[in-house]
Structure 1
Amino acid sequence: MSLFASPRFLSRVMWADAASCAATGALQLGAAQPLAELTGLPAPLLTGTGIFLLAYALAAAWMARRQPAPRTLIGLVALGNLGWALGCAVLIFASDLALSAWGVAWVAAQAAVVLALADLQWAGLRATREAARQTRQAVA
């Protein structure tokens, strides 16, 4: 059994997703104005996405606690992470915001983290699907 097929792998990835979103959301809510001044991102955008990230962190934590892992929901989360990364790219390259170097770094870091999480989520989903298929074949 590969590391990715471990029953705990998807749960751990979802806990990491929940933790990163909770930390980022709390920081954006608690320090929206200083972050806005540092990054060039609008404070309302930081506040709005901060609220979203905290709500998302609760949902990701809920998924992390489920056994077996809710595969369909985790697949949607992986797609959502890809969408978040795309949104980050649009914000950096196609918006009219005057982002500072810190702003580009803040947004790019979020894109990198969610891309890594999406990749881990997909790897876990593929491996657990294959492990379940092999188990069904062994029983039959």
Structure 2
Amino acid sequence: MSTITNTRKDAFLRIAMKLDAVVTGANGIAYLLGAALVGPLLGLPAGLLVPVGVFLVGYAVAVWFIGTRPEINVKAAWGVVLVNLVWVVDSLVVAFSDFFPLTGWGVLWIVAQAVVVDAFAVLQVIGLRKITR
């Protein structure tokens, strides 16, 4: 089985996963509760922000679950890294394409999100490398 027992070796990964879950969940809740206000500010349709918020909240719960098990499933943790990297690429495509009439704030926000999510992925890779060496 591809798991690692809860030891000091996995503490870094656990923190990275929990931080990702908290920030992602907060972002998802903000989209759900404030879609009508945030959408126009960013140049995104509120109808898009609601399903994105639902996804982010669900994803946050999954990341929290993976990061808090007595044994971290390495394959699941690598899955989190992969989803984070896909989010980064997709965010940059949205930010620098004409899919939506983004405002300047919208481009800034989407790029900032991509940078933060990329940082989570890097921290998670570092944590995974610590426990799989």
TM-score if structure 1 supplies the norm length? Answer: 0.86
Structure 1 segments of 4+ aligned residues over 3 angstroms from their partners: none
- Encode CA deviations 1:42-94: one digit per residue, 9 max, x unaligned: 11111111000000111111112112211110101101100000000110112
SS at 1:8 equivalent: helix
In the aligned structure 2, how far is the partner of 1:96 from the partner of 1:22?
25
Corresponding residue of 1:83: 86
Q: Are 1:61 and 2:80 counterparts?
A: no
Structure 1 residue identity aligned to 2:60? A
CA RMSD of aligned residues (A): 1.2
Unaligned runs of 5+ in 1: 131-140
In the aligned structure 1, how far is the partner of 2:86 from the partner of 2:113?
12
For these two proteins, the number of residue pairs brought into alignment is 126
Structure 2 residue identity aligned to 1:95? D
1:39-54 to structure 2, matched below 5 A, reads 39-54=42-57
In the aligned structure 1, how far is the partner of 2:44 from the partner of 2:93?
13
- Which segment drifts farther, 98-107 or 82-91? 98-107
In the aligned structure 2, how far is the partner of 1:95 from the partner of 1:124?
36
Corresponding residue to 1:115 among 99, 118, 130: 118
In the aligned structure 2, how far is the partner of 1:54 from the partner of 1:71?
22
Corresponding residue to 1:8 among 11, 23, 28: 11
Corresponding residue of 1:137: none
Q: Larger strand proportion, structure 1 or 2?
A: 2
Computing the radius of gyration from Cα coordinates, the structure with the larger value is 1
Q: Are 1:30 and 2:33 counterparts?
A: yes
Unaligned runs of 5+ in 2: 1-7
Corresponding residue of 2:95: 92
SS at 2:47 equivalent: helix
